[in-house]
Chain A
């Protein structure tokens, strides 16, 4: 589903990715681990074409994501749900509107929005927060809202970039369980983290990164 071929990213004074090659199959749950600055976030941004590589290619199925025009890029991003460490919710919109916005973006009707939003909020246990703004919610709740937004349009891939970085262990556990549930339902998940506990509780394929290189991939070592 995702193919990295000798991808490099060099900033003025630092190398973020150094000749990365790996593939992710459809339906996989891949955890990417490494210290801060190991290149995990740059890796996820490559898939979204939020960063351009200095060398190599990134394919999403048969699409070279860095050769897409603006309009097609928008279409690609609609097939990918993204969850960030800092949630990146729209602060002047309520929980309901945050999700509705993602649905409006893909052109869903008002009826679909009205029936789907409460449903997905129930899925992440936020039914009681429908009309609250993000700043009225706890970190765990905000992250669950972000996940709800990421899955609302049934994406083929979920990218979760340090989704538990700002959360306590209880909330971390909940988020991991939700992501596993999503993966069980058939959605591919790429999760980046520096938390050993998270990887152990996921217990799936792990790619370990250091200084922009993949130093271990459990897929190959198994």
Chain B
């Protein structure tokens, strides 16, 4: 009995969609626009995430050691730093490597090289390059360097300087920008999604408004609420499904073009991203489309059913 009713409701939903013609397609168009906005936001988030990660990658803290600092002590410090939960990576550059890098960097700077030659000895010390997992964690690492742990390790005497305090201003500012960008991104997403949801809801409300009289007639003929409401909910779901397919189809060539022409500017190949997250995007759109369609229909029809 329930299965027959469900079958009838689904069939009626498809028939209504087909027979409403242009009205149905107008609703599909609006849902498509909403889903396109959601897709765009997914892409923007990807670009933002990628760029922020790149910026974050450029931030680090370097610990310079005094000349002649024994390597085993430096290694001891390195391994204790690596144990910190905040630390992502520690790389060691020996005094000799530091000198080589210095020479390479100043290969065109003749007076500097000459001065270096004249000294004879290596005036540079080794250094450790520390990368934190989050930009906000550099302060903790710097504090660790100042703490008593260092005395226990016997490292305090070999450290020449830590450049955190020179970089502090930049790091702090970057931190503010990153968290601001994330907050702004979330806010813009929220506003755009709400606006498009309201527009979709109103469009679907209009399509149901057209059927207002019919809903009354169905009730007078003795149809139960579910029997009247069901086909409209199915129609709403159909809007969502078709809009998902259209949106995915639109973004295929669009991301291909972006991938070919804008990869350098965006820093990320949109086409590769689209293909690699295709099923995720598909699931998000389909779910949003169907839920949006069904909920809008449900709310819109409620007004005419409660008579």
Contact = CB atoms under 8 A, between A and B. Distances in A.
B144 to A, nearest CB: 69
Contacts of B20: 92
Contacts of B214: 90-92
Given A104-B8, A107-B1, A109-B4, A90 B220 contact: no
Contacts of A110: 4
B258 to A, nearest CB: 42
Interface stretch (A28-36, A74-82, A116-124, A195-203): A74-82
Contact of A88 (B15, B213, B223, B307): B213
Interface in B1-59: 1, 4-5, 8, 15-16, 19-20
A77 B16 contact: no
A109 B4 CA distance: 8
A74 B220 contact: no
B227 A105 contact: yes
A143 to B, nearest CB: 14
A28 B217 CA distance: 26
B222 interface: yes
Instruction: Provide the main secondary structure of the chain B interface.
Output: helix
A48 interface: yes
Nearest to A133: B19
Contacts of B217: 88-90
A77 B218 CA distance: 11
A102 interface: yes
A91 B224 CA distance: 19
A50 interface: yes
A105 B220 contact: no
A101 interface: yes
A221 interface: no
A82 B219 CA distance: 11
Interface residues of A, number: 25
Interface string A13-33: 000000000000000000000
A82 B220 CA distance: 8
A153 B216 CA distance: 19
Contacts of A71: 224
Contacts of A50: 220, 307
B191 interface: no
A92 B224 contact: no
B220 to A, nearest CB: 6
Interface string A48-86: 101000000000000000000011001101100010000
A70 B220 contact: no
Nearest to B9: A104
Nearest to A78: B222
A48 B220 contact: yes
A9 interface: no
A54 B121 CA distance: 109
B225 interface: yes
Interface of B: 1, 4-5, 8, 15-16, 19-20, 213-214, 216-225, 227, 307
11 contacts: A50-B307, A70-B225, A78-B222, A88-B216, A88-B217, A90-B218, A91-B214, A92-B16, A92-B214, A105-B227, A106-B222
Interface of A: 48, 50, 70-71, 74-75, 77-78, 82, 88-93, 101-102, 104-107, 109-110, 149, 153
Given A88-B213, A92-B214, 16 more contacts: A48-B220, A74-B219, A74-B222, A74-B223, A77-B219, A77-B221, A78-B222, A82-B220, A88-B217, A90-B214, A90-B217, A91-B214, A101-B223, A102-B221, A105-B223, A110-B4
